[in-house]
Chain A
Amino acid sequence: METLAEIKGLTKSYGKTLAVNNMNLIIPRGKIIGLLGPNGSGKTTLIKMMNGLLTPTAGSISINGCAPGITTKARIAYLPERTYLQDGMRVCDIVDYFSDFYKDFNRNTAFTMLQSLNISFTARLKTLSKGTKEKVQLILVMSRNADLYILDEPIAGVDPAARDYILKTIISNYNENASILLSTHLISDIENVLDEVIFIRDGQVMAHLTVDQIREEYGRSVDSYFREVFAC
């Protein structure tokens, strides 16, 4: 299996607190991978370090053989768990923005998806609801032909109908060389699209399994396995 990203001895500390603790992880190509763990387990910290938004305290990250930087940013499509778009911009301005900066961005895909979800091209972001803004961001990210899609809580704020559409989009929009790393609490909703799952607790990888392994070896769904592993 070809490696897309490799994380070695990655650590991030805030004073005495270790958000990510000596983590080792390999992300293969061509997989949809769930990044699962309870609140405060270090999922978002890991994701932010992979995107160059946080500086690791120790360890290394390699994506396509490069440390986070201009080269990796050109190949990663990242959806953060917050709204990063300027409120004064129109939807079509943001499409232009992405199209200007990312060579792998496909305008037609973006406009088709916006149309399917009935989002006006000319609407200003400040007039859109929080859920619609999240949809716009997800559409922008999924309209790229990236190597790695990193989606931090992509479906938390959207309604179930849009959730189905988005999941369908996620599965159909990526190529076989790309991988999707998807962090979420809503395991049952995404379980069917996942190939692999990474369980994180206290900043460390507890398990990295394929979904088939969980089903065959443990005889249960990812959701119930998660509940058992992380039982309070």
Chain B
Amino acid sequence: MLGKLFKYDWKSFWKVPAAINIFLLIITIIGAISLISPFWELDYEIIDTLMIVAILFYYLALFAGSIAVFAYIAIRYYKNVYTDEGYLTHTLPVAPRDIILSKLFVGAIWSFITALVMGISVFIILSTAISSVELWEIIQEFKSVVIPEFEREMGMSIYVFTLLVLLYMIINTFFSILMIYSSISLGQMFTKHKVAGAVIWYIAEYVITQFGFSMIINIPLMKLFSYDSDINVSIPAGTIGSTVNMMLFSTMLITVIIGIILYFITEYMMRKKLNLD
């Protein structure tokens, strides 16, 4: 049944995020074309200001795009599960687990696609802005100096590190969506103003988890900074690397644990506390 749910969830979901991503690509193409135009070579003071405005606009477009996809994930879940559409969703002979997982995967896939499109967009803009000779020099510098130094310090190859960061991004995407789903489900405990209830739960979850994560990151960082305060003691080789590794692994582990807890909250609310108006 999960496959069937996924099929219909995908059908009812894809149009809006696809449109948002197409919009982002159009902005990118316009940006790239304008960057190679001779306009920016003109010798007026206002040109610099215009460049800043253009960059700001581009940044805002990327930001708005990712927020819009996330907002749409929340809206679709709320509408399909807790409004009139819920009368069909919850009378299908399917388990609450399948309902949640299907929407979780559809939402996560579109989040990845959006992240990918944004990455491609930034790459296109940067490679247009920087001349190919400069870009080549930067890449060579990275290969010969930065990456070996980085690998020595971290004690792992750059590829493994990149994979770990990607894995963290994937985990974090699922986690962020589960935060939305669980807060919408918990918002149903309010007899009136259920949407406001969901927002309150979301803020509460956000504050608590951010506080937890900042603790994981700040405590080891403070230890690192303590070396810095004494100029006679240099930081032992590999300390930064092992600290970063520890932060990455512990953040990942805790994200997975809290994510699983949020999933079970969502499922519990759907299985035991469902009260459609």
Quick one: which of A15, A76, A84 has the most chain B CB within 10 A? A84
Digitize A51-91: 1 where CB-to-B-CB distance is under 8 Å, 0 elsewhere.
Answer: 11111000000000000001101101010101111101100
C-alpha spacing A82/B11, complex, angstroms = 23
Bound state CA distance, A93 and B12, in angstroms? 11
Q: Does A48 contact B (CB under 8 A)?
A: yes
Contact of B191 among A14, A54, A80 (CB under 8 A): A14
User: Is the pair B95, A85 in contact by a Cβ cutoff of 8 Å?
Assistant: no
> Quick one: which of B1, B11, B86, B274 contacts A55, CB cutoff 8 A?
B274
Alpha-carbon separation in the docked complex, A93 to B272 (Å):
31
Check B91 for interface membership: any CB of A closer than 8 A: yes
CB atoms of B84 and A84 under 8 A apart: yes
Q: Do the beta carbons of B84 and A82 come within 8 Å of each other? A: yes
Is there an interface contact between B85 and A86, defined as CB atoms closer than 8 Å? yes
B275 — which chain A residues lie within 8 A by C-beta? Answer: 53-55
Q: Would you call A100 an interface residue if the criterion is a C-beta within 8 Å of the partner chain's C-beta atoms?
A: yes
**CB-based contact A70/B93 at 8 Å:** yes
A101-B85 in contact given A54-B274, A54-B275, A55-B273 (Cβ < 8 Å):
no
Are the CB atoms of A73 and B92 closer together than 8 Å? yes
Majority SS of interface residues in chain B?
loop
Cα A93 to Cα B86 in complex, Å, equals: 18
The verdict on B112 contacting chain A, using a C-beta distance below 8 Å, is no
For the complex, is A218 an interface residue (Cβ under 8 Å from B)? Answer: no
Give chain A nearest CB distance to B29 CB in angstroms.
29
Q: Are B94 and A70 in contact (CB under 8 A)?
A: yes
Bound-complex Cα distance A220 to B94 (A)? 45
Determine if A100 and B4 form an interchain contact, defined as CB atoms under 8 angstroms apart: yes
With contacts A14-B191, A48-B276, A88-B12 taken as known, whether A53 is within 8 angstroms of B4 at the C-beta atoms is no
Determine the interface band of chain B, counting residues with CB < 8 A from chain A. 20 to 34
CB distance from A166 to the nearest CB of B (A): 19
- Could you tell me the distance in whole angstroms from the C-beta of B70 to the nearest C-beta in chain A? 21
- Asked if residues A97 and B12 are in contact (CB atoms below 8 Å), the reply is no
User: Does A101 contact B4, Cβ atoms closer than 8 Å?
Assistant: yes
Q: Is A102 an interface residue (CB 8 A)?
A: yes
> A225 to nearest B CB, angstroms?
32
Contact with A along B203-233 (1 / 0, CB 8 A): 0000000000000000000000000000000
If the complex has contacts A73-B93, A97-B8, A101-B1, are A53 and B86 also in contact, measured as CB distance less than 8 A? yes
Docked CA distance A84–B88 (Å): 6
Considering the chains assembled together, what is the distance between the CA atoms of A71 and B8 in angstroms? 22
Given A52-B274, A55-B275, A101-B1, A83–B91 Cβ distance below 8 Å? Answer: no
Contacting A73 at CB < 8 Å: which of B8, B12, B91? B91
A48 to B13, CA, bound (A): 27
Question: What's the nearest-Cβ distance from chain B to residue A77, in Å?
Answer: 9
- Residues of chain B with a CB closer than 8 A to A101's CB: 1, 4, 92-94
Decide yes or no whether B90 CB sits under 8 A from chain A: yes
B residues in contact with A102, CB < 8 Å: 92-93
Return the 5 tightest CB-CB contacts between A and B, nearest first: A74-B93, A84-B87, A84-B88, A73-B93, A80-B87
Show 28 residue pairs from A and B whose CB-CB distance is below 8 angstroms, ordered by the A residue. Answer: A15-B191, A51-B90, A53-B86, A53-B87, A53-B90, A53-B274, A53-B275, A53-B276, A54-B274, A54-B275, A55-B272, A70-B94, A70-B95, A71-B93, A74-B93, A76-B91, A78-B87, A78-B91, A82-B87, A84-B84, A84-B85, A84-B87, A84-B88, A93-B11, A100-B4, A101-B1, A101-B92, A101-B93
